[in-house]
Amino acid sequence: MAKNLDPGKWSCPLPLRSYPNVVLGHGSGGQLTADLIQQLFLPAFRNSALEALGDAAVVAAAGLRLAFSTDAYVVRPLVFPGGSLGELAVNGTINDLAVAGARPLFLSAAFLVEEGFPIEQLARLVQRMAAAAREAGVEIVTGDTKVVDKGHGDGCYITTAGIGLVSEGVQLGPQRIEPGDAVILSGPIGDHGIAVLSVREGLEFGARIESDTAALHTLVETILETPGAVRFMRDPTRGGVAAALNEVAAAAGKGIVLEEEKIPVRAEVEAACELLGLDPLTVANEGKLLAVVDPAAAPAILERMRAHPLGRDAQVIGRITAEHPGAVTLRTSIGAARVIPMPVGELLPRIC
Amino acid sequence: MKHLAEYRDAAIARGLLREIERLATRPWTIMEVCGGQTHSIIRTGIDQVLPAGLELVHGPGCPVCVTPLELIDKAVAIAARPGVVFCSFGDMLRVPGSAKDLFQAKSEGADVRVVYSPLDALRLARENPGREVVFFAVGFETTAPANAMAVKVARRDGIANFSLLVSHVLVPPAIEAILRAPGNRVQAFLAAGHVCTVMGYRQYVPIAERHRVPIVVAGFEPVDLLDGIRRAVAQLEHGEARVENAYARAVTRDGNLAARKLLGEVFEVTDRNWRGIGLIPASGWRLAPGYRDFDAESRFDVGALSVGESPLCRSGEVLQGAIKPTDCPAFGKECTPRTPLGATMVSSEGACAAYYNYRRRAVAPDPD
């Protein structure tokens, strides 16, 4: 019989943080990814453009400011409600450029294909990429194809890189963020992650949930009509709003306070998250934007965003504070506060 | 989830809070048993808005927390065997064993899969007759019926390549153990609504009588929890000790009779080790003799494993309120959210993480 039971001494066992091998969580966009960047990539490659750790690097060349970004796309299944690997590969890189304040111009595309992958499926992905690029007004100007032995790849992966031009007058950076600034979110969160999860795991939630994959650069243009009022932007992909805002808070050395009731979540996404024990704040988006802006300009920016099809449900979801630098907190509906931590690794459905 | 809106209504919640404030004339300590309730309490911040002196103590109802270390080690060892497909609910993958977790086993080549139901694992067994499919059957009375159903169907359909690694634990013996422990501080319990949905609440009646302790069956939404707390405080203030059902929309006295019948057929009561607590007699379920063929522990003899718990930090005292996070010598030095030594520094539910995030400049100035 257990003696001297002391409930105060019970706690959940610790998740491991130091793995000798790469685990899936290293690619989750959460804390394990951050560890790899801080402990491996940054020390090895260190330079000022990389150190900014933006979604895209902004570099100067020939008197121009260029935004430059790359991203690898490995989503399974290849086609999901609302999109496919093809749209993601185009829109994702466009968005990384757009949130750096750049007008996206050119993309590259590298295809890593497994032997035996049906040409017809590859063609469909490529056509969807072409349509997405056309719609966004960017050109895919260079590429590469590699085929790996059967069993050494999982169908098809795509890597894209992109170049965009940062307009004069646009100065974005976490160092520009001030206490009192407003945090704007362009629309409901969690759609992409739940859409993919629903087909990947064969879960049915009653209502069909579609990925929000979209190119955000025209929405960004409306925000940048008053370039001086915009401090910083991010697109909250893997790790969701929680990861993106934790990175913003850390980079800015400021705190962020969110209002739970202001954060838009579709009822069906909320229900699915509930069922799976996931927090919508940590679920991936592929067509949402977070902008930190001058509070005086927030109403006008919000109005312009809401006039754009991708910003109809835009909301001020919180503000920047001098308190608790580096941390994101959330005021709950009953008026309490909780810390929104950086997600550690893969999203894991809870048992209870 | 429209039907849940009324249970999240901030105005109703504030009304209940005011009533709790009115009722509570003395300090009381109430334990919510279930990890799901703890999660909801922390998520909505109920613990912060209760009147001073009314303390919520988190109970042992988190299956991830109490699954014994040796079973995690067994899971890792079984998963690593060739030909095995090891299936588990997602959050068990990150629970560390003595040396590694299931994520790491996966990265080393083990076929570890996250499933949402034991019936998904059973389907995998059907589809892969050449592989041994093992399901990690952890949890309380809540998750047990689906596991029982999976193994019953496996026997009926002759799916011999399916087995369960069972670590089921039971709530009533744990409550009894808490009440019997010397120095127990818990004066009332919120019983776990989902467990009672399956089992009913009749088992709690003798416990409430024997130990003179109020037990209120509570749900998981803010209004459910506040209503449960309100009823517990009312009983404490009036010197009562009854079982009360504050989750009547899901729970009846006798629970789900079909599920209970199935559980009685497939499982039998056994002693269980609880991680962090120790052995509690008759506190768990294992497969009954008629289903022992489906027991992964006997099917895969993984031999004697050497089990070692890592050295503990002072999170126990922090959770107990004996020390503040900042009183711990490791706080903000060896122990930060990036390099946590204790669970309290890991999750949003942790006092140390909250302290660290709010006060990091004061305790651990950034190097820059």
Which among B310, B325, B352 is the end of a domain? B310
Question: Could you tell me the pTM of the whole model?
Answer: 0.80
Residues B337 and B231 in one domain: no
Subunit contact B279:A1, Cβ cutoff 8 A: yes
A75 lies in some domain: yes
Residue B364, pLDDT score? 35
On the question of pLDDT at A11 being above 70, the answer is no
The answer on A233 and A126 residing in a single domain is: no
Collect all residues of chain B within an 8 Å Cβ-Cβ radius of residue A31: 337-338
Residues in chain A: 352
The answer to whether B267 and B144 have CB atoms below 8 angstroms apart is yes
> End of a domain among A102, A137, A166?
A166
State the amino acid at position B290 in one-letter form.
G
Q: What is the pLDDT of residues A192-231, one digit of tens each?
A: 999 998 887 767 666 789 999 999 999 999 999 998 999 9
Q: What DSSP letter does each residue of A139-170 carry, written as one string?
A: EEEEEEEEEE-TTSS-SEEEEEEEEEEEPTT-
Minimal C-alpha gap between B265 and chain A (Å): 24
Token pair, residue B25, equals 């004339």
For residue B95, list chain A residues with Cβ-Cβ distance below 8 A: 13, 15
What is residue A59's predicted lDDT score, i.e. its pLDDT?
A: 95
* Interatomic CA distance for residues A321 and B130, integer angstroms: 58
A258-277 pLDDT, tens per residue?
Answer: 999 999 999 999 988 888 87
Cβ–Cβ contact B255 with A under 8 A:
no
Which residue does chain B place closest to A257, by CA atoms? Answer: B358
Contact A15 B346 (CB under 8 A): yes
- Same-domain pairing of B333 and B243: no
Question: How many A-B residue pairs are in contact by the CB < 8 A criterion?
Answer: 231
Sheet holding A255-259, edge to edge: A230-234, A290-293, A182-185, A315-321, A255-259, A328-331, A337-340
Contact of B53 with chain A, judged by CB distance below 8 Å, is answered with no
**B232 shares a domain with B355:** no
pLDDT of residue B64: 73
HEC-encoded secondary structure of chain B:
CHHHHHHHCHHHHHHHHHHHHHHCCCCEEEEEEEHHHHHHHHHHCHHHHCCCCEEEEEEEECHHHHCCHHHHHHHHHHHCCCCEEEEECHHHCCCCCCCCCHHHHHHCCCEEEECCCHHHHHHHHHHCCCCEEEEEEEECCCCHHHHHHHHHHHHHCCCCCEEEEEEEECHHHHHHHHHHCCCCCCCEEEEEHHHHHHHCCCCHHHHHHHHCCCEEEECCCHHHHHHHHHHHHHHHHCCCCCEEECCCCCCCCCCCHHHHHHHHHHEEEEEEEECCCEEEEEEEEEECHHHHHHEHHHHCCCCCCCCCCCCCCCHHHHHHCCCCHHHCCCECCCECCCCCCCHHHCCCCCHHHHHHHHHHHHHCCCCC
Q: Hey, of A339, A346, A347, which one would you mutate to test binding to chain B, going by the most B CBs within 10 A of its CB?
A: A339
Find the Cα–Cα–Cα–Cα dihedral A186, A190, A192, A195, rounded to 10°: -140
As for how many domains chain A has, the answer is 2
B149: alpha, beta or left? (left if phi > 0; alpha if psi -120 to 50): alpha
- The answer for A 69-108 residues in CB contact with B (under 8 A) is none
Q: How far apart are CA B150 and CA B165, in angstroms?
A: 13
Mean of all residue pLDDT scores within chain A:
90
- Whether A82 maps to a domain, the answer reads yes
Classify each residue of B128-156 as buried b or exposed e, where b means 16 or more C-beta atoms within 10 Å of its C-beta.
eeeebbbbbbbbbbbbbbbbbbbbbebbe
In the predicted model, what is the mean pLDDT of residues A317-336? 92
Please indicate, yes or no, whether residues A249 and A284 belong to a single structural domain of this protein.
yes
The more confident residue out of B301 and A51 is: A51
Asked if B211 has any chain A CB less than 8 Å from its own CB, the reply is: no
What sign has the CA pseudo-torsion B25, B28, B33, B39? positive
Please identify, among A166, A198, A222, the residue that sits at the C-terminal boundary of a domain.
A166
Q: Would residue A10 count as lying in a domain? A: no
Residues A201 and A139 in one domain: no
Q: For position B129, what pLDDT does the model report?
A: 97
Interchain contact B80–A (C-beta under 8 A): no
Is A334 close to B45, i.e. CB distance below 8 A? yes
* Chain A positions in Cβ-Cβ contact with residue B346 (cut-off 8 Å): 12, 14-15, 344
> Which one is predicted more confidently, B9 or A288?
A288
Residue range of the domain that includes B343: 315-363
Residue of B94, B323, B341 to mutate when probing chain A, most A C-beta within 10 A = B94
Average pLDDT for residues A80-101, to the nearest whole number? 96
CB-neighbour burial class of residue B263 (10 A; exposed 0-12, middle 13-18, buried 19+) = buried
What's the maximum distance between 2 C-alpha atoms anywhere in chain A?
Answer: 76
Higher pLDDT, B309 or A158: A158
State the residue range of the domain holding A143: 42-166
In a domain, A211, yes or no: yes
Residues A67 and A118 in one domain: yes
Chain B contact present for A206, CB below 8 A? no
Based on the fold, state whether residues B216 and B354 are members of the same structural domain: no
Say whether both B342 and B220 belong to one domain.
no
* Size (chain B), residues: 368
- Please give the average per-residue pLDDT across A95-119, as a whole number: 97
Same domain? For A106 and A212 the reply is no
Beta strands in chain A (DSSP E): 57-61, 64-73, 79-80, 83-84, 102-114, 139-148, 156-166, 182-185, 230-234, 255-259, 290-293, 315-321, 328-331, 337-340
pLDDT at B363: 35
The verdict on residue A74 lying in a domain is yes
pLDDT for residue B330: 79
Looking at residue B1, its pLDDT comes to 44
Burial grade of A246 (CB within 10 A; 0-12, 13-18, 19 or more): buried
- Residue B361: per-residue pLDDT: 35
Q: Are residues A201 and A310 in the same domain?
A: yes
| Domain C-terminal end among A166, A193, A225 | A166
Give the CATH number of the domain where residue A114 resides. 3.30.1330.10
Number of domains in chain B: 2
> Mean pLDDT highest for which of A10-14, A313-317, B104-108?
A313-317
Q: Kindly determine whether residue B57 and residue A21, on different chains, have CB atoms separated by under 8 Å.
A: no
CATH of the domain at A288: 3.90.650.10
Same domain? For A75 and A116 the reply is yes
Cβ neighbors of A53 (< 8 A, separation 6 or more) are A37, A42, A247, A251
Q: Are residues A183 and A331 both part of a single domain?
A: yes
CB contact under 8 A, B10 and A333: yes
CB-CB neighbors (< 8 A) of A340 in chain B: 348
Compute the distance between CA of residue A282 and CA of residue A342 in angstroms, rounded to an integer. 9
pLDDT of residue B366: 35
| Residue A34 maps to a domain | no
Q: Touching check for B68 and chain A: CB below 8 Å?
A: no
* Same-domain check for residues A318 and A178: yes
**Structural domain includes residue A182:** yes
SS3 (DSSP) at A12: coil
Q: Is residue A28 part of a domain?
A: no
Task: Examine the domain organization and report whether A120 and A65 are in the same domain.
Answer: yes
Same domain, A244 and A295: yes
Q: How many CA atoms lie within 13 A of B282 on its CB side?
A: 5
Nearest CA in chain B to A31: B338
**Smallest Cα distance from B179 to chain A, Å:** 9
Q: What is the mean pLDDT of residues A15-24?
A: 74
For residue B368, is it within any domain?
A: no
Q: Which of A5, A276, A352 is closest, CB to CB, to B142?
A: A352
Cis bond upstream, residue A81 (ω within 30): no
In angstroms, the Cα distances linking A16 to A185, B77, B103, B185, B339 are 33, 17, 10, 32, 10
Question: A49 by DSSP, 3-state: which?
Answer: helix
Q: Assess contact for A174 and A54: CB atoms under 8 A.
A: no
Regions of chain B short of the pLDDT cut 70 = 1-4, 276, 303-324, 337-368
Same structural domain, A121 and A182? no
* Largest separation between any pair of C-alpha atoms in chain B: 65
Interchain CB distance below 8 Å, B116 and A332: no
- Enumerate the residues of chain B whose CB falls inside 8 A of the CB of residue A333: 8, 10, 13, 44, 222
Answer yes or no: do B298 and B319 share one domain: no
Q: How much of chain A, in percent, has pLDDT values that exceed 90?
A: 69
Say whether residue A155 is in contact with chain B using an 8 A CB cutoff.
no
A102 by Cβ neighbours in 10 Å (0-12 / 13-18 / 19+) ranks as: buried
Q: What pLDDT is stored for residue B194 in this prediction?
A: 92
Give yes or no for A168 touching B (CB within 8 A): no
CATH of residue B196: 3.40.50.11740
